[in-house]
Amino acid sequence: MLTRTVPSQPIGRFAPSPTGELHLGSFTTALASFCHIKSLGGKWLLRIEDTDIERCDRQFTDQILLDLDTLGLHWDGDVIYQSERIDIYNDYLSSALSSLTYGCQCSRKDLAEYWAQEEQRQADGNGSNKALNKKRYPRCCIAAALDRQKHKLRIQLPNYQIGFRDGIQGLQWANPQQTLGDMVVRRQDGMINYILAASLDDGLQKVTHIMRGLDILPMTTAQISIMEAARLPGIDQWYHLPLICHDDGQKLSKQNLAQPINTCNPSALIASALQLLQQPTVDTDTPENMLRQAIAQWDNTPLQGKQQLSSVNA
């Protein structure tokens, strides 16, 4: 992985996927990443991760931009749209990442049948007694030399331990091959998957600090591996925020029908999110003034080691 040869200004980013409007969980992540990077004197970039053309909608993108602006979360530079960068991702797949990728024709049904057969073999005493890792692709197609343009593409992740220090969750170690296997990076229909696009863009945008939700933590070693293979500058600091959950412990998300934020009272919304983030109280004022105070007193310490923030009714 390339190293930074000269001191650089810290660069953070918020990268929502416009499959719905911002809810309290995604807004809180945006607020945390904004306040944190600004407390370091850095830039805060906005990237719209809209490669999933089936689920993403321009009206959600427009609403996200409007909500962030209303709440005083003003980004630096131009907004980056991943849907406009498909050629860049494909260039990396055909060049720097070519030796690590291969075509795959296995469908979900094929893999379900494979794992069912493996379970039956174990039950019959004809296989090992190791627990089956169904997240790890069994590499059925790795030697098949399938047409890369007509099939989905998988990337071979390294089979060794990778460690990194998380500024909130502490020291982390994982073997990406054992935990994630050979991940799909481009679907058969040409859609670029999240981990590839995010990894390349973070490197190309020279992002130095990433603050995002804890649910993405298991993907971090894959991102480190992809950025290294693509010879892009690595991330200096990782921060994975505790998840905001419903009262029943379920993660607040679009899939769980989290309600969109209401920006009619932006000052109250900012105060509520800062309280969830266990930050010092700020004076009720305009969003910009509240954010200036929040930036000045930003502190990761109350979040350290926590995997879940106070449950909310949302």
Residue 248 has pLDDT above 90, yes or no: no
pLDDT at 225: 98
Measured torsion, CA atoms of residues 79, 245, 261, 198, in degrees rounded to the nearest 10? 10
pLDDT band at 314 (very low <50, low <70, confident <90, very high): very low
Q: What is the mean pLDDT of residues 83-103?
A: 98
pLDDT of residue 127: 60
Q: With a cut of 60, say whether residue 45 has pLDDT above it.
A: yes
User: How far is 293 from 250, CA to CA, in rounded Å?
Assistant: 31
Rounded to whole angstroms, how far apart are CA atoms 158 and 177?
A: 6
List own/partner pairs for 5-11 with CB under 8 A and 24 or more apart.
Answer: 8/206, 8/208, 9/41, 9/42, 9/43, 10/37, 10/40, 10/41, 10/42, 10/43, 10/208, 10/209, 10/236, 11/37, 11/42, 11/43, 11/45, 11/205, 11/206, 11/207, 11/208, 11/209
pLDDT reading at 18 higher than 90? yes
The two three-digit tokens of residue 39, written as one number: 């407390």
pLDDT digit string, tens, across residues 124-153: 776 655 666 666 899 999 999 999 999 999
Query: Taking 70 as the threshold, does the pLDDT of residue 253 lie above it?
Result: no
CA max distance for the chain:
69
- Domains defined for the chain, CATH in brackets: 8-82+242-256+266-314 (3.40.50.620)
Which residues is 161 bridged to in the sheet? Answer: none
* 55-59 average pLDDT score: 93
**pLDDT level of residue 119 (50, 70, 90 thresholds):** confident
Expressed in angstroms, the distance from the first to the final Cα of the chain is 41
pLDDT at position 72 is 98
pLDDT at 107: 93
pLDDT higher than threshold 60 for residue 6: no
Strands annotated E in the chain: 11-14, 43-48, 80-81, 101-104, 152-155, 162-166, 170-174, 183-186, 209-213, 237-241
Neighbouring C-beta atoms of residue 96, cutoff 10 Å:
15
Residue reference for tokens 């800062």? 274
Give the model's pLDDT for residue 50.
96
More confident residue, 258 or 114: 114
Residue-averaged pLDDT of the chain? 91
* 118 torsion bin: left (phi>0), alpha (psi -120 to 50), beta (else): alpha
| Residue 160 pLDDT exceeds 50 | yes
pLDDT digits (tens, 9 = 90+) for 173-201: 999 999 999 999 999 999 999 999 999 99
For residue 221, the tally of other CB atoms under 10 A from its CB is: 24
Return the pLDDT at 245. 76
